[in-house]
Chains A and B, each alone.
Chain A
Amino acid sequence: MTKKKFDVTKHSLVPKHLKLSDKEKKEILDLYRISLKELPKIRKKDSGIAHLEVKEGDVIKIIRPSATAGESIFFRVVVSA
């Protein structure tokens, strides 16, 4: 059986993951008036962000298709473990 590489990001369950720049990151934290550790977390080796080259402390913007709001935006901070 030939093995093929599969692209996780194309799966229907996986929403769009984007890495925020430092400027955008600061804007988000200011807008919601929170610190970094108050954000929900995502592991560094999570399959959904394997293509993004992230480091710890980066904020990932997730654009989820939502049953109630059409599209909803969610943020997660990258953690090591």
Chain B
Amino acid sequence: MAQETKLLPPKLAGEVLELVKGFSESKAKKVKEIVLQEYSHAQVEPGECVGIISAESIGEPGTQMTLNTFHFAGVAEMNVTMGLPRIIEILDGRSDISTPMMEIFLKNPYSKGKDIKEIALSIKETKLNEISDSFHIDIADKSIAIALNQEKMSELKVTQTMAINALKNGAKGYTLSQVKNGLLLKKKEKEENINVLYVDKEKFKQLHVSGVKGISQVLPVKRGEEYVIITSGTNLKDVFEMDFVDETRTMSNDVFEIAEVLGIEAARQAIINEVFKVIESQGLNVDIRHIMLVADTMCNLGLVKGITRYGVVSEKASVLARASFETPIRHIINAALIGEEDKLDSVVENVMINQPTPIGTGLPSLVVKVKE
């Protein structure tokens, strides 16, 4: 293949090669050359400040975005952060998002609605306090009595053995015994401080009994022809391991989790999808290339980095550029301490010292070739 078609995007290159079939070699070469020329005209010029254009293109419609934080995903019980707060959350690269959510797709026949309630229940996390009526502390005996609620247990499909197993793993240092309508935990060691009992009681209330960790709510919904389970709380890894889950389409809205479980490229795509979803839902129109640029920048180092002073800005080589973003004094002091150098080869630092910036026509410079 000639050099020309290599520089073209694959789709265009394929079309060109298809077109020149049957052409003479010189004619085909000419066609390729013209296509390449037209293509490079359509490309962004070297020195164009694409970042600033992206910032303006996202920022201007952003001013019209509602500050309405919540949007109901189908049914009123579940709400999701949307609008400007969501955009900020994604672009800042926050690892603890305010409304983590998953969309779990199911395999056939479950996607048609088979056992949908049972499946949804088996995904939801059940904690010990959800199946018990009371936690009672006996100070004299140094024990905790847990009264289990049989009704709730059968409703949530939890057996007594599951609760016992959970306590066996979670309550170290206690002897477990079954008593009438409940369980009794007795502290093994002679503990003078009864505060420990109170702390432990609270800990046991949150003990994981069944289901997938981190999933606090489940909601089966019908989407078109198939059933999808929407959850609040995410745990992609554990959900992928369940055999009725379609692991090719199941999605989380937590970009960090996606980067961890599916890799950096998936995270990049997730950032684009999530940002675009918000912009679209607000009825705004932002070219997807701008979002792609932001996502590429955030994922450039192989990890998701936010557009913050701890994220991509901290990676800048220039001290002055970092100082111009946030916390200038800290940056300058730190740079002075280790004797950092500023090559002044980017935009902000040249603006500061009143020199032409290396963008647009300011980018090319002359180099003198010294005769040997």
Which residue numbers of A lie inside 8 Å of B, CB to CB?
1-8, 10-15, 17, 31, 40-43, 46-49, 62, 64, 67-74, 76, 79
Contact = CB atoms under 8 A, between A and B. Distances in A.
B262 A14 contact: yes
B176 interface: no
A13 B266 contact: yes
Given A12-B248, A13-B251, A13-B258, A48 B264 contact: yes
Interface secondary structure of B, over-half rule:
helix
16 contacts: A2-B243, A4-B241, A10-B248, A11-B249, A13-B258, A13-B266, A17-B265, A40-B301, A41-B301, A42-B264, A42-B265, A42-B302, A47-B260, A48-B266, A68-B288, A71-B11
Contacts of B302: 40-43, 46, 76, 79
Contacts of B243: 2, 4
B242 interface: yes
B120 to A, nearest CB: 14
Given A7-B247, A11-B248, A76-B302, A71 B9 contact: yes
B46 interface: no
Best-surrounded residue of A1, A14, A48 (most CB of chain B within 10 A): A1
A16 B122 CA distance: 33
A46 to B, nearest CB: 5
A69 to B, nearest CB: 5
Nearest to A70: B11
Contacts of B258: 13
Interface in B37-66: none
A72 B248 contact: no
Contacts, number: 96
A14 to B, nearest CB: 5
A62 B265 contact: yes
Given A4-B243, A11-B266, 7 more contacts: A6-B240, A11-B249, A17-B263, A47-B260, A48-B265, A68-B289, A72-B9
Nearest to B122: A1
Interface string B341-363: 00000000000000000000000
Given A68-B289, A69-B11, A4 B242 contact: yes
Interface string B273-308: 000000000000000110010001001111100000
Nearest to A46: B263
Contacts of A14: 262-263, 265-266
Q: Which 3 A-B pairs have the closest CB atoms?
A: A48-B263, A70-B11, A13-B266
A62 B264 CA distance: 11
Interface of B: 6-7, 9-12, 122, 240-243, 247-249, 251, 258, 260-266, 269-270, 288-289, 292, 296, 299-303
A47 B249 CA distance: 17
Nearest to A16: B265
Contact of A69 (B9, B296, B301): B9
Contact of B262 (A8, A43, A69): A8
Contacts of A13: 251, 258, 262, 265-266, 269-270
A15 B269 contact: yes
A69 B7 CA distance: 14
B51 to A, nearest CB: 16
A76 B240 CA distance: 27
A41 B247 CA distance: 26
Contacts of A76: 264, 302
Contacts of B10: 70-73
A1 B260 contact: no
A11 B265 CA distance: 11
A40 B265 CA distance: 11
A79 B300 CA distance: 12
Given A42-B302, A46-B302, A71-B11, A11 B242 contact: no
A18 to B, nearest CB: 12
B288 A47 contact: no
Nearest to A13: B266
A64 to B, nearest CB: 7
B53 to A, nearest CB: 16
